[in-house]
Amino acid sequence: MNTNRESGSGGRAAAQWVLMMAAGGALVLALAASSRAQNADSQPAALSKQRAALYLAATHTPLTDLENDVNHLALRSESCRIENGAQACGLPDKPLESSKLEDRYAYYVRQPVEAHSKVQGVKISRRNWAGASAPPSR
Protein backbone atom coordinates (compact mmCIF):
# COMPACT_ATOMS: atom_id res chain seq x y z
CA MET A 1 0.00 0.00 0.00
CA ASN A 2 2.83 2.39 0.73
CA THR A 3 3.98 1.94 -2.85
CA ASN A 4 0.63 3.15 -4.20
CA ARG A 5 0.69 6.21 -1.97
CA GLU A 6 4.23 7.10 -3.00
CA SER A 7 3.45 6.68 -6.70
CA GLY A 8 0.32 8.80 -6.24
CA SER A 9 2.27 11.66 -4.69
CA GLY A 10 4.94 11.25 -7.35
CA GLY A 11 2.25 11.59 -10.02
CA ARG A 12 0.98 14.76 -8.39
CA ALA A 13 4.49 16.19 -8.27
CA ALA A 14 4.96 15.38 -11.95
CA ALA A 15 1.62 16.99 -12.80
CA GLN A 16 2.58 20.11 -10.82
CA TRP A 17 5.91 20.22 -12.64
CA VAL A 18 4.16 19.98 -16.02
CA LEU A 19 1.74 22.77 -15.03
CA MET A 20 4.61 24.97 -13.84
CA MET A 21 6.49 24.40 -17.09
CA ALA A 22 3.37 25.24 -19.13
CA ALA A 23 2.86 28.43 -17.12
CA GLY A 24 6.52 29.36 -17.58
CA GLY A 25 6.24 28.74 -21.33
CA ALA A 26 3.14 30.91 -21.54
CA LEU A 27 4.96 33.69 -19.67
CA VAL A 28 7.92 33.50 -22.05
CA LEU A 29 5.60 33.69 -25.07
CA ALA A 30 3.74 36.67 -23.61
CA LEU A 31 6.99 38.51 -22.92
CA ALA A 32 8.27 37.75 -26.42
CA ALA A 33 5.08 39.14 -27.99
CA SER A 34 5.35 42.27 -25.84
CA SER A 35 8.99 42.67 -26.84
CA ARG A 36 8.11 42.38 -30.54
CA ALA A 37 5.44 45.06 -30.14
CA GLN A 38 7.93 47.38 -28.45
CA ASN A 39 10.54 46.64 -31.11
CA ALA A 40 8.05 47.53 -33.84
CA ASP A 41 7.53 50.93 -32.14
CA SER A 42 11.26 51.54 -32.14
CA GLN A 43 11.86 50.82 -35.83
CA PRO A 44 13.01 53.81 -37.91
CA ALA A 45 9.85 53.99 -40.05
CA ALA A 46 7.54 53.86 -37.03
CA LEU A 47 9.62 56.52 -35.25
CA SER A 48 9.40 58.77 -38.29
CA LYS A 49 5.59 58.61 -38.21
CA GLN A 50 5.49 59.18 -34.46
CA ARG A 51 7.82 62.18 -34.78
CA ALA A 52 5.71 63.71 -37.54
CA ALA A 53 2.56 63.29 -35.44
CA LEU A 54 4.23 64.96 -32.43
CA TYR A 55 5.64 67.71 -34.63
CA LEU A 56 2.14 68.51 -35.89
CA ALA A 57 0.60 68.21 -32.42
CA ALA A 58 3.11 70.72 -31.08
CA THR A 59 1.79 73.34 -33.50
CA HIS A 60 -1.50 73.57 -31.58
CA THR A 61 -0.76 72.00 -28.19
CA PRO A 62 1.52 73.40 -25.48
CA LEU A 63 4.75 71.44 -25.25
CA THR A 64 4.20 70.78 -21.54
CA ASP A 65 1.03 68.85 -22.47
CA LEU A 66 3.09 66.68 -24.83
CA GLU A 67 5.89 65.93 -22.34
CA ASN A 68 4.78 62.34 -21.76
CA ASP A 69 4.68 61.66 -25.52
CA VAL A 70 8.08 63.30 -26.02
CA ASN A 71 9.56 61.16 -23.25
CA HIS A 72 8.10 57.95 -24.71
CA LEU A 73 9.44 58.88 -28.13
CA ALA A 74 12.85 59.55 -26.59
CA LEU A 75 12.91 56.07 -25.07
CA ARG A 76 11.85 54.43 -28.35
CA SER A 77 14.44 56.53 -30.21
CA GLU A 78 17.22 55.38 -27.90
CA SER A 79 16.10 51.76 -28.32
CA CYS A 80 16.25 52.32 -32.07
CA ARG A 81 19.73 53.84 -31.74
CA ILE A 82 20.93 50.71 -29.90
CA GLU A 83 19.38 48.31 -32.42
CA ASN A 84 19.94 50.18 -35.70
CA GLY A 85 22.43 52.99 -35.12
CA ALA A 86 21.92 56.73 -34.75
CA GLN A 87 21.82 57.56 -38.45
CA ALA A 88 19.16 54.96 -39.27
CA CYS A 89 16.97 56.37 -36.49
CA GLY A 90 17.40 59.99 -37.53
CA LEU A 91 19.41 60.93 -34.44
CA PRO A 92 22.68 62.82 -34.15
CA ASP A 93 25.76 60.81 -33.20
CA LYS A 94 26.25 62.97 -30.11
CA PRO A 95 23.82 62.11 -27.26
CA LEU A 96 21.57 64.74 -25.72
CA GLU A 97 23.20 66.36 -22.71
CA SER A 98 20.24 68.41 -21.47
CA SER A 99 17.25 67.41 -19.39
CA LYS A 100 15.05 70.35 -20.48
CA LEU A 101 11.79 69.47 -22.22
CA GLU A 102 12.42 71.99 -25.00
CA ASP A 103 15.81 70.43 -25.71
CA ARG A 104 14.37 66.88 -25.70
CA TYR A 105 11.67 68.00 -28.13
CA ALA A 106 14.24 69.64 -30.40
CA TYR A 107 16.60 66.64 -30.27
CA TYR A 108 14.10 63.80 -30.69
CA VAL A 109 11.31 65.47 -32.70
CA ARG A 110 11.95 68.81 -34.41
CA GLN A 111 15.52 68.30 -35.71
CA PRO A 112 14.91 64.80 -37.15
CA VAL A 113 11.63 65.87 -38.81
CA GLU A 114 13.15 69.00 -40.32
CA ALA A 115 16.26 67.12 -41.47
CA HIS A 116 14.06 64.46 -43.09
CA SER A 117 11.93 67.05 -44.87
CA LYS A 118 15.05 68.78 -46.25
CA VAL A 119 16.40 65.51 -47.62
CA GLN A 120 13.10 64.09 -48.88
CA GLY A 121 11.42 67.31 -49.83
CA VAL A 122 7.86 68.05 -48.90
CA LYS A 123 5.32 66.38 -51.15
CA ILE A 124 1.84 67.84 -51.12
CA SER A 125 -0.79 66.27 -53.27
CA ARG A 126 -4.26 67.78 -53.30
CA ARG A 127 -5.68 64.35 -54.15
CA ASN A 128 -4.84 63.22 -50.61
CA TRP A 129 -6.79 66.01 -48.92
CA ALA A 130 -10.01 64.86 -47.31
CA GLY A 131 -13.06 66.34 -49.01
CA ALA A 132 -11.08 68.16 -51.69
CA SER A 133 -11.76 67.58 -55.33
CA ALA A 134 -8.93 67.01 -57.74
CA PRO A 135 -7.72 70.15 -59.53
CA PRO A 136 -8.91 70.43 -63.12
CA SER A 137 -6.46 69.09 -65.65
CA ARG A 138 -5.15 71.47 -68.28
Q: What angle do CA 56, 58, 59 make, to 5 degrees?
A: 70
* Distance, CA of 27 to CA of 16 (rounded, Å): 16
Instruction: Determine the pLDDT at residue 83.
Output: 93
* Distance, CA of 90 to CA of 115 (rounded, Å): 8
Confidence of residue 103 (pLDDT cuts 50, 70, 90): very high
What are the tens digits of pLDDT across the range 46-93? 999 999 999 999 999 999 999 999 999 999 999 999 999 999 999 999
* Distance, CA of 102 to CA of 39 (rounded, Å): 26
Instruction: Determine the pLDDT at residue 41.
Output: 72
Report for 23-32, 42-51, 98-107: range of highest mean pLDDT = 98-107
Confidence of residue 12 (pLDDT cuts 50, 70, 90): confident
Confidence of residue 40 (pLDDT cuts 50, 70, 90): confident
Q: Where exactly are the structural domains of the chain?
A: 40-119
